[in-house]
Amino acid sequence: MYNINETIVALATPAGIGAIGVIRLSGSKAIEITDKIFKGKKLANQASHTLHFGKIMQGDKVLDEAVVSLYKAPKSYTGEDVVEISGHGSQYILEQIINLCIANGAHMAKAGEFTQRAFLNGKLDLAQAEAVADLIASQSGAAQQAAMHNLRGGFSEELKQMREQLIQFSALIELELDFSQEDVEFADRTQLYKLIHDINEIAGKLADSFRLGNVIRNGVSVAIIGKPNAGKSTLLNALLNEERAIVSDIAGTTRDTIEETLNVNGILFRLIDTAGIREHTSDVIESIGVQRSIDTMKRADVVVYLYDVNNTTGEEIAEQAALFKQENMNYLLVANKTDAYFGNKQNGTIYISAKNKENVNALKQALYDKVITGDINTESTIITNARHYASLQEVLKSITDIQAGLDTHIASDLIALDIRRCLFYLGEITGEVTTEDKLDYIFSKFCIGK
C-alpha cells in the first residue's frame, strides 16, 4: 500500500559502477529535502526545469559533486515535485546520497511507485503506465515500437471515447427503467446498435493483435532438435555467427541445452540447441540430456527439426512430421549438410549447409515467417499485455450479449446490465475502473526507481 503523502527516493539508474548515477525524488518535500544536503543555490528559489551544479554534503564533509535537475509540480513525470540528483556512479556514493535523503525525511520508493503516482495524478492512464514497464523491458525493435506506441496513447484514446459514448447510452437506458410503465425509448436503438458494432470491431481487432503482441513482447523460443551429429550445434553457431557451442563429430557432444538470442527483423528469437535425441544410450548424463531435449521441444514456440540429408530416409522424416502434426507443433523441417549431397530436394524442406553457412538466411526468414504474417505495421496498435487481452475478451463477450439482447428485444434492464459489464471491462484496461489492490499488483511488477 502506498502513502501518496510521502516523498519517495530511489536510484533511477542500474546498480553498479557507471560514469554517473541518477537518484530521483518525488513528492511535496523533494526540493526541501534536497536543499538540506545540497550546497549550491537554494533550490526552493529556482525555476522549474533548471539544472544546478553543487556539492552533496554529508555533515561538513563533501560526499560528491552533482548536478540537480528540478521539475516542479505538476510539470513532472509523476505530477509532483521531482528532483533528480546526478552524482558520480559509485555504488557507495549513491547509497550514501539515498541514505542522506532518507535521514532528511524521504522514504524508499517501492517498485513502480513513481509511475503509479504518475497514474494517480492523471499523467498517464493505466495502459500507458504499463507501456512504460514494457518500454524498459524491450529487447528488440518491434517490442520498443509497440511499447512506445502504447505509451503515446495507442489505443487508450479510442477505448475512452467508446466508453464515454456507451456511458451515455447506459444513462438513457437506465432512465427508461424509471419510466418503465410508459413504454418510452430514450436511447436510440439504431445508434446503440451502431456503437456496439464499432466497439465489437475495434475490440476484436485489438484482441486479434495479441498473438503478434505476445511474440513481440516475449520473443519466440525455437528448439533445434534432431539426432546426434545432425549439425544442431553447428547450426546454432551459424545462426549466431559465433562459435558458441562445441561442435564435434562425436555423437552426443551436446549434453545440456544452450540458449542464445537472435534478432531477426526486429523480432527476438531464443534459440535453444539441444542434445541429439537417440533412443539407446547407456550414458546416464546423455540420457538426462535427451529427456531435456524432449521437454524443450514440447515447450518451444517453434521446433526446427534438423537432419543430416545424407543419411536420413524419407520415411523417417515423414514419421517425424506426422508426430509434430499430431502434437500440434509449429515446426520446420531442415535438411543439413547439402555441401555433400547431390540428391533430389523435397518441397517444404529447407536445405542448408550449417558448416558452410549456406542458406542460413533463408532459414532465418522462414522462422520469421512462421510467427509473423505480413508486415508489422508499427503505427497500428498491438496488444502486448495479457491483462488487456483478458479484459478485451470480456468486452467482446458482453458485446455479444448486448447485440443478442437488442436482436431479440429483451427488457431494457437486462441490456443495461450487459452494458454495465462492458463498461466495466473497457474501463479496466485504461484504469478508469480499478481497485487499489489491483494497482499495487500491477505496479509491483515494475522495477524500483521507475
Ligand X SMILES: Nc1nc2c(ncn2[C@@H]2O[C@H](COP(=O)(O)OP(=O)(O)OP(=O)(O)O)[C@@H](O)[C@H]2O)c(=O)[nH]1
Question: Which parts of this chain interact with ligand X (CB under 6 A)?
Answer: 226, 228-234, 247-249, 251-254, 275-276, 336-337, 339-340, 353-355
- Amino acid at site 122: G
Least distance to ligand X, CB of residue 290, Å: 9
Among 26, 34, 229, 233, binds Mg ion (CB under 5 A): 233
Grid-cell match 540447441, residue found? 273
Q: 1, 47, 43, 45: which is closest to 25 by C-alpha? A: 43
Our CB check for ligand X shows the closer of 116 and 338 to be 338
Least distance to ligand X, CB of residue 245, Å: 7
Query: Degrees (nearest 5) of the Cα angle 192, 195, 200?
Result: 125
Our CB check for ligand X shows the closer of 142 and 360 to be 360
Our CB check for ligand X shows the closer of 101 and 367 to be 367
Question: Which of the ranges 24-32, 113-121, 228-236, 365-373 carries the binding residues for Mg ion, by CB under 5 A?
Answer: 228-236
How many other C-beta atoms lie within 10 A of the C-beta of residue 177? 11
- Which residue in the shown chain puts its C-beta closest to ligand X? 276
CA distance 212 to 234: 30
Our CB check for ligand X shows the closer of 121 and 253 to be 253
Least distance to ligand X, CB of residue 273, Å: 7
Helices of type H across 253-311: 284-299
Q: For residues 124 and 118, is the Cβ–Cβ distance under 8 A?
A: yes
CA distance 252 to 238: 19
Question: Which of the ranges 130-138, 183-191, 233-241, 423-431 carries the binding residues for Mg ion, by CB under 5 A?
Answer: 233-241
Partner touching 149 among Mg ion, ligand X, none, CB below 5 to 8 Å by kind: none
Our CB check for ligand X shows the closer of 37 and 225 to be 225
Least distance to Mg ion, CB of residue 155, Å: 44
Partner touching 156 among ligand X, Mg ion, none, CB below 5 to 8 Å by kind: none
Specify the DSSP element, H or E, that contains 349. strand 349-351
Query: Degrees (nearest 5) of the Cα angle 145, 151, 154?
Result: 80
Q: 366, 347, 355: which is closest to 265 by C-alpha? A: 366
Least distance to ligand X, CB of residue 399, Å: 51
Specify the DSSP element, H or E, that contains 101. helix 91-103
Partner touching 252 among ligand X, Mg ion, none, CB below 5 to 8 Å by kind: ligand X
Least distance to Mg ion, CB of residue 288, Å: 15
Partner touching 229 among Mg ion, ligand X, none, CB below 5 to 8 Å by kind: ligand X
Q: Binding pattern to Mg ion, positions 236-255, x when CB under 5 A?
A: -----------------xx-
Partner touching 37 among Mg ion, ligand X, none, CB below 5 to 8 Å by kind: none
Chain CA centroid to CA 79, Å: 25
Partner touching 154 among ligand X, Mg ion, none, CB below 5 to 8 Å by kind: none
- Amino acid at site 272: I
Counting beta carbons within 10 angstroms of the beta carbon of residue 40, is it exposed (0 to 12), middle (13 to 18) or buried (19 or more)?
A: middle
For residue 329, what is its C-alpha cell? 507443433
Our CB check for ligand X shows the closer of 51 and 340 to be 340
Partner touching 91 among Mg ion, ligand X, none, CB below 5 to 8 Å by kind: none
Question: Which of the ranges 161-169, 226-234, 262-270, 395-403 carries the binding residues for Mg ion, by CB under 5 A?
Answer: 226-234
Least distance to ligand X, CB of residue 332, Å: 16
Residues that bind Mg ion (rule: CB under 5 A) add up to a total of 4
Widest pairwise Cα distance in the chain: 88
Least distance to ligand X, CB of residue 241, Å: 15
For residue 152, what is its C-alpha cell? 503515446
- Any bridge partners for residue 258, and if so which? 273
Our CB check for ligand X shows the closer of 62 and 246 to be 246
Q: For residues 340 and 369, is the Cβ–Cβ distance under 8 A?
A: no
Pairing of strands 82-89, 18-26: antiparallel
How many other C-beta atoms lie within 10 A of the C-beta of residue 265? 13
Q: Binding pattern to Mg ion, positions 295-314, x when CB under 5 A?
A: --------------------
Counting beta carbons within 10 angstroms of the beta carbon of residue 152, is it exposed (0 to 12), middle (13 to 18) or buried (19 or more)?
A: exposed
CA distance 176 to 192: 14
Our CB check for ligand X shows the closer of 37 and 352 to be 352
Grid-cell match 456511458, residue found? 167
Our CB check for ligand X shows the closer of 217 and 232 to be 232
Phi, psi (deg, nearest 5) at residue 145: -65, -45
Our CB check for ligand X shows the closer of 37 and 230 to be 230
Question: Which of the ranges 34-42, 200-208, 229-237, 306-314 carries the binding residues for Mg ion, by CB under 5 A?
Answer: 229-237
Least distance to ligand X, CB of residue 351, Å: 10
Query: Degrees (nearest 5) of the Cα angle 131, 136, 139?
Result: 105
Our CB check for ligand X shows the closer of 131 and 230 to be 230
Q: For residues 449 and 11, is the Cβ–Cβ distance under 8 A?
A: yes
Residue numbers of the site for Mg ion (CB under 5 A)? 232-233, 253-254
